[in-house]
Amino acid sequence: MLEGQSYLISRALPSSCEHESKWFYMTCHLFEITSIKLPLSAEREPKEQGESNNAKRPKLPESLPLPALQEPLLPSDLSNSDHGHGGDGSDCSSFINLIGRDNSISCLARCSRSDYGALACVSKAFRSLIKSGYLYRERRKIDIVEHWVYFSCIINEWEAFDPNRGRWMTLPTMPPNQCLEGIDRESLAVGTQLLVFTKGVLFNNIVLKYSILTNTWSTGVAMNSSRYMFGSASFGERAIVAGGTSDSGSILDSAELYNSETQTWTTLPSMNIARRNCSGVFMDGKFYVIGGIGSNNELLACGEEYDLKEETWTIKPNMSPGLHGPSGAPPLLAVVNNELYAANCAEKTLRKYDKSNNTWITLGRLPERSDSVDGWGIAFRACGERLLVIGGPRSPTGRMIELEVNSWIPEEEVPPNWNIIARKRSSGFVYNCAVMGC
């Protein structure tokens, strides 16, 4: 429908839609009562007597040029510009004037992000508004967040999964790059971006960025210090990376903060202990880097807490479950409602961190069919208020034959009762996985 940029969209709606989707129908209803014309190549013929109100509407033109967006379109621009008049033929201003600019922005911000691709086809104004990222900033202000899971089971191929609607979506293929052919990659979702890190031929850090605003890949901004096998976590439009291995192979104690709005990296104070193969989480408004391997190749049982306000690091003894050994995966950790959970793949058990006693408590079993090798090959992630285990059984040759998405909400009964919310055939195990909430 649109030439040039495209939008990742899950169109089908279940019979019982989530709260945000009701705003989409409200918005569409308001459009119908404001005499807004559909984007037709010619004037629509008057409706014949007896024609059903559900008659099939004409299709959108095959080619719609995207407007040049020099600056983000703000609410004050909506009714004062002609973005809704030309090209696609939609008169957006009558809708905006009818309910007011603030109400129109409020309606659009409350629509499900799955509907944004359809809304982008309504008018140039809406398309520019969605593409600018302004709606996602408004959603953060009013605490509206939808979580999608992004993962890669095939080199250079990524998929997205919407757990609320049970929809799979295929992202565009990553740009060809011989440096991306290896599996030694890191991924991080922050704001409306998915960042993929890998090592270049000259041992430089290569960053590729996928944007949900344009559904495209582009070159991202490299960190101030190249690093690999680091711990990371995101909180809204910000993310922190800590530790890792440098280009020369030394283990790092440095850390950096990334702002997806400004696309800049800021060097933070160094940690107390250098570490690699560590994990990172945000909990109680603070960043934690946990476990990993130290400078003498020893397994680290401690973690470190970074206070963003005080800009200080504090060592937290015995915070790492230390499960997988020197050659194993970093600790598989996830935070739901400010509670820390860990997946013990060796014993296939789920653990919870007791903050008051600084101990780990076993809650129950992990899904039985989620196979891994020392923690590699599966994903353990927090997705809103639920925990997800993404993996599946393997063939005799070691390849995954079916990918399953298992879900458990911690507020439910203990031991955990995992529910399979999606499954599909797969030719490889999970290389990378990240959850984007926006």
Over its length of 438 residues, how does the chain's per-residue pLDDT go in tens digits? 344 444 454 444 333 334 434 444 444 444 443 334 444 333 334 344 334 444 443 343 333 333 333 334 444 445 444 444 434 444 455 556 677 778 888 888 999 988 888 888 888 888 888 888 999 999 999 999 999 999 998 888 999 999 988 999 999 999 876 555 555 689 999 999 999 998 765 556 789 999 999 999 999 999 999 898 999 999 999 999 999 999 888 999 999 999 999 999 999 999 999 999 999 999 999 999 999 999 888 899 999 999 999 999 999 998 987 666 667 789 999 999 999 999 988 888 999 999 999 999 999 999 987 777 777 888 999 999 999 999 877 666 656 577 899 999 998 778 999 999 999 888 778 889 999 999
Q: Which fold has domain 147-437?
A: Neuraminidase (2.120.10)
If phi over 0 gives left and psi between -120 and 50 gives alpha, with beta otherwise, what is residue 203?
Answer: left
pLDDT value at position 201? 54
Give the whole-angstrom CA distance, residue 75 versus residue 168.
32
Positive or negative, the CA dihedral 411, 417, 421, 425 is positive
pLDDT value at position 279? 95
Give the whole-angstrom CA distance, residue 379 versus residue 330.
11
Give the whole-angstrom CA distance, residue 388 versus residue 407.
5
For the chain, domain boundaries? 19-42+59-141, 147-437
Taking alpha carbons only, the member of 280, 271, 341 closest to residue 291 is: 280
* Burial annotation 225-238 (CB, 10 A radius, 16+ → b, else e): bbbbbbbbbbbbbb
- Residue 152 structure tokens: 């890669």
DSSP assignment of 175-244? PP-GGGSSS--EEEEETTEEEEEEE-TTS-EEEEEEETTTTEEEE-PPPSS--BS-EEEEETTEEEEE--
How many DSSP H helices and E strands does the chain contain?
A: 7, 24
If phi over 0 gives left and psi between -120 and 50 gives alpha, with beta otherwise, what is residue 94?
Answer: alpha
Instruction: Look up the pTM and report it.
Output: 0.79
Q: Which residues are CB-neighbours of 100 under 8 A, at least 6 positions away?
A: none
Cis peptide before 269 (omega within 30 of 0): no
251 DSSP assignment: B
Do residues 34 and 121 lie in contact, with contact meaning Cβ atoms separated by under 8 Å?
A: no
Give the whole-angstrom CA distance, residue 340 versus residue 135.
31
55 DSSP assignment: P
Half-sphere exposure of 220 (CA within 13 A, CB side): 30
* Coil/strand/helix, residue 321: coil
pLDDT value at position 32? 43
Give the whole-angstrom CA distance, residue 313 versus residue 299.
20
